[in-house]
Structures are given as structure tokens and as C-alpha cells.
């Protein structure tokens, strides 16, 4: 028996047992879900007065908080310099509350500038390890035939076990 045939036979046997167990488990899960649905309905009905009272009390608070949040955001953003590099007020603390500016920007290196800064003689393996080409953008830029020649695909396999739909 070849190695491939042995793998096939071993996996088929284990997969057949897995399938049998999965189908059995599905029956129990369905019964559980149906039983729980009845209990959830009763629970939701019992909780309804509590939730309605809380909603009645919370809605005005949340509405006012959203208004204040908008005001705070607008005030702090007004302090961003025209070039977007600095802020007038980075943080305001009051009791347990804090409003702070968060820099969500990311650092990037201009490829042309990077090449200019590194002498030809210094462009060794470490230099090229810094490079990464974005596949999506490269596919839009290069013809498909060129992409086929230059793109490397390193497979990373995983196993998916599921029932067929």
C-alpha cells in the first residue's frame, strides 16, 4: 500500500466516525436549542419590566452623554494644528473621566526616499528584507504574466473538517 493510499484510508475511517458523531451531536444541539428557546421566552418576559424601567432611566442619560461627547470631540479636534502634527490639548482629566487625543496614524517610509538614503553598496540581504510589495496594488500595476513570474506563493496548509452543506 502506498503512503498516499494509507493516508487516504486512515483519514476516511476517522472522518466517517467523525461524521457519525457530528450528526448525533447536531440532534442534541437542536433539542437543546429548542428547549432553551422556551426558557428564554419566559426569561425575557419576566425581565421586560426591569429592562423597560432601566431604558426609561438610561435613554435621557445616554442622549445627553452623546451630545457632550460630540462637544468634547469637536473642542479637542479644534486644537489640532493645521499641519495635523500637534495638538493644543492632549488630555483633560476630571474625577474618573478622561478625554485624550489618540494618534491613530501609522508610520510609513516613502520607498523612493528609502532607496535614496541607502547607498547601492549597502543594499544587501538586510536591505531587501525591509521590502514588501503589496500584491493587490502590484496586480493592478503589472500584467498578469509578469505577476505569475515574480510572485512567490508559500503554501500554509490547515485542515478543515465540516459537514457538507
Reported as a pLDDT band with limits 50, 70 and 90, residue 154 is confident
What would the pLDDT profile of 20-70 be if each residue is shown by its tens digit?
Answer: 999 999 999 999 999 999 999 999 999 999 999 999 999 999 999 999 999
> Long-range contact list for 106-114, CB < 8 A, 24+ apart?
none
Q: How many CA atoms lie within 13 A of 103 on its CB side?
A: 10
Which helix (H) or strand (E) segment holds residue 92: the answer is strand 91-94
Cell 432553551 locates to 36
Query: Can you give the pLDDT at residue 86?
Result: 93
Quick one: cell of 9? 484510508
Query: Can you give the pLDDT at residue 142?
Result: 93
Query: Can you give the pLDDT at residue 1?
Result: 84
Give the separation between CA 100 and CA 28, rounded to whole angstroms: 50
Q: What is the mean pLDDT of the chain?
A: 94
Could you tell me the residue ranges of all domains in the chain?
A: 3-76
Query: Can you give the pLDDT at residue 156?
Result: 87
Query: Can you give the pLDDT at residue 70?
Result: 96
Give the separation between CA 32 and CA 26, rounded to whole angstroms: 10
Cβ within 8 Å of residue 87, ≥6 positions away: 76, 79, 80, 81, 101
155 touches 146 (CB < 8 A): no
Query: Can you give the pLDDT at residue 152?
Result: 87
State the average pLDDT over residues 116-124.
93
SS3 content of the chain, % helix, strand, coil (to 5): 65, 5, 30
Residue 94 scores a pLDDT above 90: yes
State the average pLDDT over residues 142-160.
90
Query: Can you give the pLDDT at residue 92?
Result: 96
Evaluate if pTM is beyond 0.85: no
Quick one: cell of 10? 486512515
Query: Can you give the pLDDT at residue 99?
Result: 97
Cell 451630545 locates to 67
Amino acid at each position: 500500500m502506498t503512503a498516499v493510499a494509507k493516508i487516504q484510508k486512515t483519514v476516511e475511517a476517522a472522518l466517517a466516525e467523525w461524521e457519525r458523531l457530528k450528526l448525533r451531536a447536531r440532534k442534541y444541539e437542536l433539542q437543546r436549542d429548542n428547549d432553551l428557546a422556551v426558557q428564554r421566552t419566559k426569561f425575557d418576559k419576566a425581565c421586560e419590566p426591569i429592562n423597560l424601567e432601566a431604558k426609561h432611566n438610561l435613554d435621557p442619560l445616554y442622549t445627553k452623554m452623546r451630545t457632550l461627547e460630540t462637544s468634547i470631540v469637536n473642542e479637542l479636534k479644534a486644537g489640532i494644528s493645521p499641519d495635523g502634527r500637534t495638538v493644543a490639548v492632549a488630555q483633560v482629566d476630571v474625577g474618573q473621566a478622561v478625554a485624550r487625543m489618540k494618534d491613530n496614524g501609522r508610520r510609513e517610509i516613502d520607498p523612493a526616499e528609502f532607496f535614496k538614503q541607502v547607498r547601492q553598496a549597502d543594499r544587501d540581504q538586510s536591505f531587501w528584507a525591509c521590502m514588501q510589495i503589496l500584491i493587490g496594488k502590484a496586480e493592478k500595476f503589472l500584467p498578469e504574466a509578469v505577476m505569475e513570474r515574480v510572485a512567490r506563493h508559500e503554501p500554509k496548509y490547515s485542515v478543515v473538517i465540516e459537514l457538507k452543506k
